[in-house]
Amino acid sequence: MKIYLDTANLGEIREAARWGILSGVTTNPSLMARETGAGFEETIRTICGLVDGPISAETVSEDADGMVAEGRAFAAWHRNVIVKVPSTTEGLEAVARLGERGIRCNVTLVFNANQALMAALAGAFVVSPFVGRVDDMSVDGMELIREIAAIFELDPDIRTQILAASIRHPRHIAESALAGAHIATCPYKVLLKCMQHPLTDRGQRSFLEDWRKREAEMALPAAVDD
Ligand code: E4P
């Protein structure tokens, strides 16, 4: 399973990109509105320069004509831009029409398996089931990923990828992978939490303490020239 970062914050993207784990980035209007300093186009173009993978930019029109117009403009910014549209009938039409032009779409705000199936049939590149928001309704969000994965598996013509969204904590990531998601898009702070473990900290501390006791005798190899 691949990891995307779910943010429009350039500092977070720059930092996580250095870790060598990022395959893409998702944004949405709320995440965009949280950032100040640069406009939408400039932010998306900058993200495309930081991460070489699919970068989702979300439309804000409510009708298919508007989504198609916005999507065509976004796609012209960079070859990696994926047009994010809502899981509505207007969104489905936009996916189909943008697909005819070779423009890839991410169908977002997916809360049941039928929405995911419809998006796939319209030709979505990815569908985004919102695991955390489903959990918030006292329903198992991971079961939604499992259902979608099982349905997609049954139809060899479906090549749409499942992007687990609304990830709230590290367990959501591992569970999404086991449930059959191809991608999980994660907030920066959840990625940081994934790498925190008290036994890692304690083990590293004791390794270094032991090393330092005899450091003088253990010459490190000289740095290799580039
Ligand atoms: C997906 O692409 C969305 O940006 C995102 O995962 C929404 O998650 P939230 O429920 O944390 O807002």
**How much is the pLDDT for 216?**
84
The DSSP line for 138-168 is TS-HHHHHHHHHHHHHH-TT--PEEEEBS--
- Ligand 1 pocket (Cβ < 6 Å) reads 6, 26, 28, 108, 128, 130, 132-133, 165-166, 185
> pLDDT-based confidence at 226, cuts 50/70/90?
confident
Tell me, what amino acid is at 113? A
Encoded tokens for 145: 């990923």
Q: Report whether pLDDT(225) > 90.
A: no
- Candidate from 28, 127, 162 with most ligand 1 atoms within 8 A of CB, to mutate: 28
Q: Pick the residue with more confidence: 36 or 171?
A: 171
Q: Report whether pLDDT(192) > 90.
A: yes
**How much is the pLDDT for 34?**
94
Taking CA atoms, 84 is separated from 38, 40, 128, in Å, by 20, 14, 10
Ligand 1 atom with minimal separation from the 185 CA: 6
Ligand 1 atom with minimal separation from the 132 CA: 10
The model's pLDDT over 77-86, given as tens digits with 9 standing for 90+, comes to 999 999 999 9
Strand residue runs (E) in the chain: 2-6, 22-26, 55-58, 81-86, 105-110, 126-129, 161-164, 183-186
| 88-112 mean pLDDT | 98
> pLDDT-based confidence at 221, cuts 50/70/90?
confident
| 203-214 mean pLDDT | 95
Separation of alpha carbons 51 and 123, rounded Å: 24
Instruction: For residue 81, give every residue at least 6 positions away whose Cβ sits within 8 Å of its Cβ, in sequence order, or none.
Output: 44, 48, 55, 56, 57, 74, 75
158: Cα within 13 Å, side-chain hemisphere: 21
The model's pLDDT over 36-66, given as tens digits with 9 standing for 90+, comes to 888 999 999 999 999 999 999 999 999 999 9
Separation of alpha carbons 181 and 178, rounded Å: 7
| 136-142 mean pLDDT | 97
Q: Report whether pLDDT(224) > 90.
A: no
Q: Report whether pLDDT(89) > 90.
A: yes
Q: Parallel, antiparallel, or unpaired: how do β-strands 183-186 and 81-86 relate? A: unpaired
Taking CA atoms, 22 is separated from 32, 41, 46, 59, 80, in Å, by 19, 21, 15, 23, 14
**How much is the pLDDT for 219?**
78
